[in-house]
């Protein structure tokens, strides 16, 4: 591990160490286990979901349940391997009963996600679902906004459905597949351009 990677790991560990202290708040209603992001800390691609589910809470790893399996397949459609992307969530603690995190919970967690983004410096952030799209680019109507790119502060954000929408409702799978094909084309073009 070179010095740069070693420094990034130390910085991410420090961010997560502070993040883990959030459950000490008296009003805390989420799980007390931080589900840390996973992937290279210098990744060009970051994937941000809503929050961990119960499988993720039990294992401490993001996107390992049914939604994670679908996400892996969708990444493949985009020409990506899970090992080359950094995967995390807006809220990195499990909301009991898999409920949507509250605005207050999102507000408490967002500063940590922003620090993680600033450390990784991805070129593209894939926003899975209304919570992540709403929190990061103000687009919470993913059924109308899916497949769209938003440029902000030198980062390209890509809005799509959460894989859970495909797990629950099968007719959403072709929508997700179409979005990830579009994402793959954009990434391929960017990679070809950078090689010139």
pLDDT recorded at residue 1: 45
Q: How is domain 3-25+35-195 classified at the CATH fold level?
A: Uracil-DNA Glycosylase, subunit E (3.40.470)
Q: What is the mean pLDDT of residues 145-162?
A: 95
The answer to whether 34 and 19 are in contact (CB under 8 A) is yes
The per-residue pLDDT for range 63-101, each reduced to its tens digit, is 999 999 999 999 999 999 999 999 999 999 999 988 999
Please determine, for residue 3, whether its predicted confidence score (pLDDT) is greater than 60.
no
Helix axes 103-120, 3-19, angle to 10 degrees: 170
Enter the tokens of residue 84. 């080359």
The per-residue pLDDT for range 27-70, each reduced to its tens digit, is 899 999 999 999 999 999 999 999 999 999 999 999 999 999 99
pLDDT recorded at residue 38: 97
The per-residue pLDDT for range 101-140, each reduced to its tens digit, is 999 999 999 999 999 999 999 999 999 999 999 999 999 8
The answer to whether 22 and 12 are in contact (CB under 8 A) is no
The answer to whether 129 and 53 are in contact (CB under 8 A) is no
Q: What burial class does residue 134 get, using C-beta atoms within 10 Å of its C-beta: 0-12 exposed, 13-18 middle, 19+ buried? A: buried
Q: Where are the domains of the chain?
A: 3-25+35-195
CA distances from 180 to 73, 108, 121 (A): 10, 30, 21
């Amino acid at each position: 591990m070179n010095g740069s990677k070693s420094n990034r790991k130390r910085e991410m560990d420090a961010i997560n160490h502070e993040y883990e202290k959030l459950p000490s708040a008296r009003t805390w209603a989420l799980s007390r286990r931080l589900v840390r992001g996973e992937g290279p800390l210098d990744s060009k691609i970051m994937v941000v979901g809503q929050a961990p589910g119960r499988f993720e809470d039990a294992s401490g790893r993001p996107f390992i349940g049914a939604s994670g399996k679908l996400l892996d397949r969708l990444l493949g459609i985009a020409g990506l391997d899970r090992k080359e992307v950094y995967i995390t969530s807006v809220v990195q603690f499990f909301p009991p009963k898999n409920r949507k995190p509250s605005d207050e919970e999102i507000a408490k967690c967002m500063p940590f996600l922003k620090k993680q983004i600033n450390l990784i410096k991805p070129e593209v952030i894939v926003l899975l679902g209304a919570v992540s799209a709403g929190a990061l680019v103000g687009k919470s109507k993913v059924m109308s906004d899916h497949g769209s790119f938003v440029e902000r502060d030198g980062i390209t954000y890509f809005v799509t459905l959460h894989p859970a929408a495909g797990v629950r409702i099968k007719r959403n799978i072709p929508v997700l597949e179409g979005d990830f094909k579009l994402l793959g084309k954009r990434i391929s073009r960017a990679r070809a351009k950078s090689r010139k």
